């Protein structure tokens, strides 16, 4: 197992009390290895990953979509993950 690429993503936790709603951002990293993709709480075997895609939202950042045989997983990113996606696609062309 060796690291090919990594990209930061954000998990937003919303807390609501009687006065206000507070958004807490947790900085995390998604890792692409030669045999798996790893996030904070999930590990995806590379054979189960069908595709990666990205949709920009607003002026900055957007959503990174991880398409797997087990479903679609979405990760909020603050910068374009295009290099991460290209690394995945280049690796699978071999």
Complete domains list, the chain, with CATH: 3-93 (2.30.29.30)
Residue 11's alpha-carbon distances to 6, 23, 50, 66, 69, in angstroms, are: 16, 10, 23, 15, 23
Strand ranges across the sheet with 21-33: 43-45, 36-38, 21-33, 3-16, 71-77, 62-68, 49-56
Q: What is the mean pLDDT of residues 64-82?
A: 96
The pLDDT tens digits of the residues spanning 7-64 come to: 999 998 898 988 899 989 999 999 999 999 999 999 999 999 999 999 999 878 899 9
Question: Residue 92: pLDDT above 80?
Answer: no
CA-closest candidate to residue 6, choices 92, 90, 89, 81:
81
| Element spanning 80, H or E | none
Evaluate if residue 72 carries a pLDDT over 80. Answer: yes
pTM above 0.85, yes or no: yes
């Amino acid at each position: 197992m060796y690291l090919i690429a990594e990209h930061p993503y954000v998990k937003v936790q919303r807390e609501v009390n009687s006065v206000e709603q507070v958004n807490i951002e947790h900085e995390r990293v998604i890792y692409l290895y030669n045999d798996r993709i790893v996030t904070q709480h999930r590990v995806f075997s590379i054979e189960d990953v069908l595709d990666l895609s990205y949709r920009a939202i607003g002026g900055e950042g957007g959503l990174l979509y991880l398409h797997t045989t087990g479903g679609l997983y979405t990760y909020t990113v603050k910068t374009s993950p295009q290099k991460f996606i290209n690394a995945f696609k280049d690796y699978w062309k071999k």
